[in-house]
A and B are shown apart, each in its own frame.
Chain A
C-alpha cells in the first residue's frame, strides 16, 4: 500500500522532479504546481497533473500559502512535499497544511519556528553541550562593548536568516556601527525581522554538515557527513562525502554533537546539522535544518538510500528500518552545482534561453536537472540549472569521473559556472583535499581577463561560422534561429566535401 494516494509538490525545477521520481517509485500519484511562467516546465510535464498557482512572481505563486493549499484541495492531494527553499521552512505553511487536513512532509510547525530563530538554536545547542561558534547568544543592541570579547573580524548574522542572506563581515570596531545598521535593514527587508547577532569569523575553516533521518518513533539515523566548503556568497557550489578533512576521531565527535542537537528537536524528517571545522579539528555548531537539502543526493550515492522516499514514509508514520539505522556509507561522492552564473564576473546571475543542453551520463554519474534545451531562464527564480553528481570507490576515482563528466557537459545560450567547475577539478587544493571556505576568493579570484589563446580559438570558430552561414545562405531553407540556419548549411557543405 502506498503511504499516500496523491501528493502535491509545492516547488518547481529540479527538486520538484526529484520528488516526482520518489512518488513514482512509491506508487503515489504526483501533482505539481506552476506559476504562469512554468506552464511548459519539465516538472509540470512529468507530474500526473499540475495546478496553476498564480503569476510568475514567487510571492504570488510558489510562496503563496493560500494558492498552494487551494491547489492541494482542488487536486485531491492527501500530502504536501515542500522541497527546499520557498515554503519549506515556513511554520505558517506547515500549520496551514495541517489545518487543511493534509500531511506536511516535514517537521511540526513548532520545530520550524524554534529552529528558524538562529539565536535560539545557538542557545539550544549550547545547552545540549555542543560547542557553538564564539559570539553572542542574545540579540545585539547598539552597544559595541558586548562584542569586545569576540574579537575581529566578526560576522553579523540575521537571526531569521539563512541561505547566506543578511550576513555582513566586520573587520574592525570602527566599522561596526555602520555594519550593524546595514545588517538590521537587510534582515528586516529579507525576513521581516531585524534581529542580528555576532559570531567570530573563523578562518581557515571548513563547512561540514551531518545528514540525519528521524522518524515519529524516536529513532535517529546518522548518515555520514558532507563537506560543503566550496562556496561563493556563503552559498554552496560543491559538496562531497566523506569529507577529506574528517578523520575517524573527528567524525565520531561530529556525529555525537549532531545526535545531541537532534535529541532536543522533534523533526521526524530528513535534517542536517551544520558545523564549522577549524584547522585543529575543533567543530562548532552553526545551525540545524529540518528539511531536504539541495545536496542530499551526495549522501544517497554513498548510502544507497532514497532520502526523499524516506521523508514520505516517515511522514506516513513508518518507522526507520534497522538497516537504515546502522548504515555505513561506502565509496566517495561529489556534487557540483551547475548555475546560470558568470564565474568570470563575480558569479553574477545570468538569464536567457538555453540553446544547447548536453548532460553527462555513464557509470557513476547522476544528473538532477530542472531545465533542458529551449528552457527560458527567468530571473525570478533560483539560477540552479542542474546538480551533477559522481560516485566511485574512492576520492581519486571520483575526481577522475567528475573531470570526465564535466568534459561531456555542454550548455549553450547562457553563461554558467561550468568553466569554473572544470578549473576546480584541476586545482591542487581541491584535488589534494586541503581546501577551505576561502578557496574561491583566494584561488579563483576576480581577475579573469580573456587570455589570448582562448580569444584566438574563439576567433577561429566565429570566422568559420560566419563563412559557413554565408556560403550556404543561397541554398539553405529559411529559419528564424540563427544557430540552426547556418548550422544546417554547414552540414551540407561538409557532406559535399
Chain B
C-alpha cells in the first residue's frame, strides 16, 4: 500500500500530520477525523482511486492512486491531449436560453459560451480553455440532459 499517492486537482498532497480517520456509519460513509481530543465529522464517498471527502461542508475530490494507476492515467491524459478537440458538456439538465458562441469564433479560457436555465436560475457555461469553436450542437429553447454535448472547441 505504500506506493499510494494522493492528489487534489492534479497536485500531490501529503496527509495531515497527527490526524487519524475513523468510520462511524459505514453504510452512509460517515466518519470522523481524530487528533488527540479534537475531532471533526466527515463524509467520504467513492471507491478505487476516486473519492469525494466532505469536510466542514465542502466537497473535495481526491484521487488516491498506486504507481501502476498513475502510469495508466498518464497515458490516458497524453492520448486525450493528442486527440485535440474538447467537447463542452452540460453539467446540469436544463433549458438553453441563449448561445453566445458561433462556429469559427475564437474564444478565451473562461469566456461565456452559452446560458442554461436550471434550478430556476441562469447558469453561464464557460470555455474550459481557449480555442476555436468547431461545432455548436444546441439552440435556444432546447432542453438538454446532463452530459449532453453543447459545443466543441479545437
Write the residues of chain A forming the contact surface with B, with a CB cutoff of 8 angstroms: 163, 165, 189, 233, 344, 348-349, 351, 355-356, 358, 373, 379-383, 410-422, 450, 452-470, 482-491, 494
Contact = CB atoms under 8 A, between A and B. Distances in A.
B43 interface: yes
A487 B56 contact: no
A460 B15 contact: yes
B67 interface: no
Interface of B: 1, 4, 6, 8-9, 13-17, 19-23, 25-31, 33, 41-49, 51, 53-60, 62-64, 92-94, 97, 118-121, 123, 146
Nearest to B51: A462
Nearest to B27: A484
B44 A462 contact: yes
Nearest to B23: A490
Given A422-B57, A463-B4, A487-B26, A379 B118 contact: yes
Nearest to B32: A461
19 contacts: A165-B120, A351-B146, A355-B28, A356-B25, A356-B29, A356-B43, A410-B41, A419-B58, A450-B58, A454-B56, A455-B8, A457-B16, A460-B21, A461-B51, A483-B47, A484-B29, A487-B28, A491-B23, A494-B22
Contacts of B57: 411, 416-422
B121 to A, nearest CB: 6
Nearest to A418: B57
Contacts of B15: 456, 459-460, 463
Contacts of B22: 494
A351 B92 contact: yes
B119 A412 contact: no
Contact of A459 (B16, B20, B48): B16
A456 B29 contact: no
Given A355-B45, A461-B44, A450 B27 contact: no
Given A415-B59, A458-B53, A465 B21 contact: yes
Contact of B8 (A416, A418, A420, A458): A458
B21 A464 contact: yes
Given A412-B29, A470-B1, A459 B42 contact: no
B53 to A, nearest CB: 4
A488 B26 contact: yes
Contacts of B29: 355-356, 412, 483-484, 487
A351 B23 CA distance: 26
Given A349-B121, A422-B56, A461-B21, A373 B28 contact: yes
A104 B42 CA distance: 46
B64 to A, nearest CB: 4
Contacts of A470: 1
Contacts of A349: 92, 118-119, 121, 123
Contacts of B47: 469, 482-483, 485-486
